[in-house]
Structure 1
Amino acid sequence: MLYIVLFFLLFSLLLYVLLGGADFGAGIVELFSSAKNKEHTRDTIYRVMGPIWEANHIWLIIMLVILWVAFPAYFNIIIIYLHIPLTLVLLGITLRGVAFVFRHYDAVVDKSQFWYNWLFRIGSFVTPVFLGMSFGALIGGKIIITEDYENYGFYDLFMQHWLNIFSLLVGLFYAALCAFLASTLLIGEAEGKARKHYARNSAFFTTVLVVLGFILISFGYFSDIKFAEDFIHNPVSLACVAFSGILLFPLWKFIKKEYRIASRYLAVFQVILVLFAALYAHFPYIIITATEEVSLLANLAPEATISNLAIMLLIGGFIILPGLFHLMRSFNMIKVLEKNEKKYE
């Protein structure tokens, strides 16, 4: 039963990185678009995201519930020591959601539209940055777990582990990943000049992602961050990164030729490789504190709780996943092969 719970935890993480990432990335693409491209980008984003944007964050909720019920020790560390960046994440999700709705349904067209647009764009950028910074804090080796609060200040216990260069680089890397996903997705949702615009964005954010990834690992390694050292010395993780690097060449080719389906699937596969490489390098010791590495499998919930949770996840999975697939298929989010791309699929 534990393996079932672990599967749903990791599967929810993957789906949130992909779907939630593309959701955030759409706003980032709009933020970095030129003034003449912002309007058609906004219209395309609404047409694509409008029917499904609320469903994307269900995977974050599922992850938190699984951690809370099955892995209470991990949940406590995350909630206690990362309450500031996670609060900012929740505020960002809420505010950008409000802006997304009001900028399309506000019946009065006035200066408020200007603020709705910028709130959505800025929220779409800073939210994944804070999410990435939270993950950077977990693996950065700076969290101080103690009950002796008199000898530590507020900054030492609750800020320094996420407010640093390494965590910021992780945050920027995830934001770039979101923009890469969204721009590649939008290639298949536009025509003509707009399609070329998203292809250029996709190529640009792919390059940014590669550069940031190199800087992130290099900085972590030379700063003696254990996660980065273990990542570089892990043959499986390095093999995944190398394979991902090789796949950049066909990906760039598909993006340049503006292929809707091939570029989309290859982009998703790239993300899966990167995520697997990061998790495999240190699983199950995802949290690295200043004094120890905390295993996800330590201090588990009682076996009966794990079993009941696994059953509920299986039942929920059989209900949610087909419904989500039907929703995305109904609004043409999941595409099949196209005639001019069959030879590349």
Structure 2
Amino acid sequence: MLYVVLLFVVLSFFLYVLLGGADFGAGTLELFSGPDHKKSIKKTVYSVMGPVWEANHIWIIILIVVLWIGFPEFYNVVIIYMHIPLTLILLGITLRGVAFVFRHYDAIKDHTQNLYDRMFEFSCLVTPIFLGMTFGALLNGDVQTLEQAPNASFVELYIHPWLQPFPLFTGFFFSALCVFLAATFLIGEAKDYEKRMYMRKAAVAIIAVVVIGFATILIGYVQGNEFTNEFITNPLAIGAVALSGILLYPLWKVIRIGRVIWSRFLAGLQVLLILFAAIGTHFPNLIITKQGPISLLNHTAPERVMDVLGGSLIIGGALIIPGLIHLLKSFRMIKVLEERD
């Protein structure tokens, strides 16, 4: 059952990055748009996200619960030594949800709507940055546990590992990736005169992803980051990144001719390739401390627990996934694709 559990870990992580990331990117897209475009994006985002935006959080909930039960040592290191950025992520998700609801359903329409708009936009900007910073910190090599460094200060244990250039640029990279996903996905929901706007924004996001991604790798290389050194010498990682770059050409072609399903498929595939390059490089050693790596597979739950967990995930997936598909169909999220493709 270990492989079943790992499959759900990977699937949950990918789907949250893809779907939750697109939601965060939509708010960031709105933040960096002019007044006229803001109004159009706000309307489109509400019609797309409104019925299903909370459903996307199911994937991160599954991920957290599976790590907690199945991989307790790995989970404990993440939750203890990354508790500050994780708390900020939780705060960002909460503020985004509050702002999203009140800016549409507040009974009184006044200047407070501007406050809700700013809350929504800035929380959508900073939350993926902290998500990326957490991931970058785990791979940067500055994490140290109390067992490894019993005399370390609070700053050395809980702040220094994630407040570094490499984690910071990893956060910027993930935020740019979210904007790319949002702009690409929203092209299929836009009216004809809005599509050009989203195409321009998608192009800018692609440039940002490439530039920030290169800067992130460069920073890691200059710092002698173990993850970066393995990344740039790993043929699979380089091949995945190269293929992701090559796919930009067919993606742009299908966007221009209005092939909505293909544009979203290719965008999702590019994200999958980037995640494969980032995680596959060092799997299962997904935490790198000053004293060495910590494997996801170290001290996993007992076999009987894994059997129950894997069986529960199979049953739960059989119940949840059809329900989510029905939800998407009910609110035109799939029907729109079928009609416009």
Q: Residue type matched to 1:245 in 2?
A: G
Q: CA-to-partner distance for each residue in 1:191-236, whole Å, 9 max, x for gaps?
A: 1221211111111101111111111112111211011111111111
In structure 1, distance between residues paired with 2:142 and 2:181: 30
Match runs of 1:1-345 below 5 Å: 1-147=1-147, 151-334=151-334, 335-336=336-337
In structure 1, distance between residues paired with 2:26 and 2:192: 19
In structure 1, distance between residues paired with 2:201 and 2:287: 34
Following superposition, the deviation at residue 338 of structure 1 comes to: 6.0
Between stretches 30-39 and 144-153, larger displacement belongs to 144-153
Q: CA-to-partner distance for each residue in 1:92-135, whole Å, 9 max, x for gaps?
A: 00011000000000010111101000000000000000000000
Q: 1:200 to 1:148 in 2, by over 3 A?
A: closer
Q: Residue type matched to 2:144 in 1?
A: I
Q: Contact 1:195–1:258 at 8 Å: present in 2 too? A: no
Say how many residue pairs are matched.
Answer: 340
Listed as ranges, the gaps of 5+ residues in structure 2 are none
SS in 1 for 2:247: helix
SS in 2 for 1:293: strand
Q: Contact 1:139–1:286 at 8 Å: present in 2 too? A: yes
Following superposition, the deviation at residue 147 of structure 1 comes to: 3.7
Q: Contact 2:148–2:291 at 8 Å: present in 1 too? A: no
Q: Residue type matched to 1:52 in 2?
A: V
Between stretches 27-36 and 250-259, larger displacement belongs to 250-259
Following superposition, the deviation at residue 330 of structure 1 comes to: 2.2
In structure 2, distance between residues paired with 1:217 and 1:302: 38
Give the % identical residues.
Answer: 52
In structure 2, distance between residues paired with 1:283 and 1:150: 28
Q: Contact 2:128–2:171 at 8 Å: present in 1 too? A: yes
Q: Contact 1:85–1:130 at 8 Å: present in 2 too? A: yes
Q: Contact 1:30–1:121 at 8 Å: present in 2 too? A: yes
Q: Residue type matched to 1:271 in 2?
A: V
TM-score scaled to structure 2, two decimals?
0.97
In structure 2, distance between residues paired with 1:64 and 1:327: 23
Q: Contact 1:203–1:255 at 8 Å: present in 2 too? A: no
Between stretches 184-193 and 139-148, larger displacement belongs to 139-148
Following superposition, the deviation at residue 180 of structure 1 comes to: 0.5
Listed as ranges, the gaps of 5+ residues in structure 1 are none
In structure 1, distance between residues paired with 2:150 and 2:289: 19
Q: 1:316 to 1:76 in 2, by over 3 A?
A: same
Q: CA-to-partner distance for each residue in 1:170-206, whole Å, 9 max, x for gaps?
A: 0011001111001100000011221211111111101
SS in 2 for 1:151: coil
Q: Contact 1:231–1:238 at 8 Å: present in 2 too? A: yes
Q: Residue type matched to 1:45 in 2?
A: V
SS in 2 for 1:57: helix
In structure 2, distance between residues paired with 1:64 and 1:148: 25
Following superposition, the deviation at residue 67 of structure 1 comes to: 0.5
Q: Residue type matched to 2:12 in 1?
A: S
In structure 2, distance between residues paired with 1:218 and 1:251: 27
Q: CA-to-partner distance for each residue in 1:260-316, whole Å, 9 max, x for gaps?
A: 232211111101111111111110001101111011111011111111000100000
Q: Residue type matched to 1:283 in 2?
A: F
Q: Contact 1:82–1:158 at 8 Å: present in 2 too? A: yes
Q: 1:305 to 1:209 in 2, by over 3 A?
A: same
SS in 2 for 1:288: strand
In structure 2, distance between residues paired with 1:49 and 1:194: 18
Q: Contact 2:13–2:60 at 8 Å: present in 1 too? A: yes
CA RMSD of aligned residues (A): 1.4
In structure 2, distance between residues paired with 1:246 and 1:150: 48
Q: Contact 2:24–2:124 at 8 Å: present in 1 too? A: yes
Between stretches 250-259 and 75-84, larger displacement belongs to 250-259
Between stretches 145-154 and 135-144, larger displacement belongs to 145-154
Q: Residue type matched to 1:242 in 2?
A: A
